[in-house]
């Protein structure tokens, strides 16, 4: 069965709205992704946005959004529905992403994410430009 971008976007927005998870920011990413999914960063490199539904045993467990360019992935957003947390889903996603690139970055101010980054061999790189988030990076 083919899954259409609109269906994925509808699922992501429904989860985002239900749990009040960065709804406006996610809407911006979904609009980009619904277009051609490619923007250009400040280095004139094409950046590809991808949106993935986390589905295990036919049950939707959450979603994640990434930007990728030049063998690097920036995990922009990840949301695992609360009742499915602490099942190793985040670790499995990171392990899969590690096989696809040479570098993964995560910007976060959330304590559970900071703990997960440290656990999964990410290194603190710097405070982000906003001054609110910390940037963690994993390199091959």
Q: Are 62 and 54 in contact (CB under 8 A)?
A: yes
Gap between the Cα atoms of 136 and 108, Å rounded:
8
> For a pLDDT cut of 90, what percent of the chain falls above it?
46
Q: How do beta strands 72-80 and 103-108 pair?
A: parallel
User: What does the mean pLDDT of the chain come to?
Assistant: 86
Sorted by where each starts, the structural domains of the chain and their CATH numbers stand as: 5-139 (3.40.630.30)
- Can you give the pTM of this predicted structure? 0.86
Mean pLDDT of 3-24: 91
Nearest residue to 62 (alpha-carbon basis) of 90, 35, 40, 38 = 90
> What integer is the mean pLDDT of 6-17?
93
Give per-residue pLDDT as tens, 67-90: 888 889 999 999 999 999 999 999
CB 61 within 8 A of CB 89: yes
């Amino acid at each position: 069965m083919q899954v259409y971008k609109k269906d994925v976007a509808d699922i992501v927005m429904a989860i985002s709205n239900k749990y009040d998870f960065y709804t406006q920011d996610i809407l911006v990413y979904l609009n980009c992704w619904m277009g051609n999914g490619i923007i250009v960063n400040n280095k004139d490199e094409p950046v590809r946005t991808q949106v993935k539904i986390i589905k295990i045993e036919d049950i939707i467990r959450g979603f994640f959004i990434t930007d990728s360019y030049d063998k690097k992935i920036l995990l922009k957003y990840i949301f695992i529905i609360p009742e499915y947390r602490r099942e190793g889903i985040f670790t499995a996603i990171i392990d899969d992403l590690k096989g696809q690139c040479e570098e993964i970055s995560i910007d976060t101010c959330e304590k559970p994410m900071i703990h997960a980054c440290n656990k999964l061999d990410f290194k603190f790189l710097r405070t982000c430009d906003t001054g609110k988030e910390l940037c963690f990076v994993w390199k091959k």
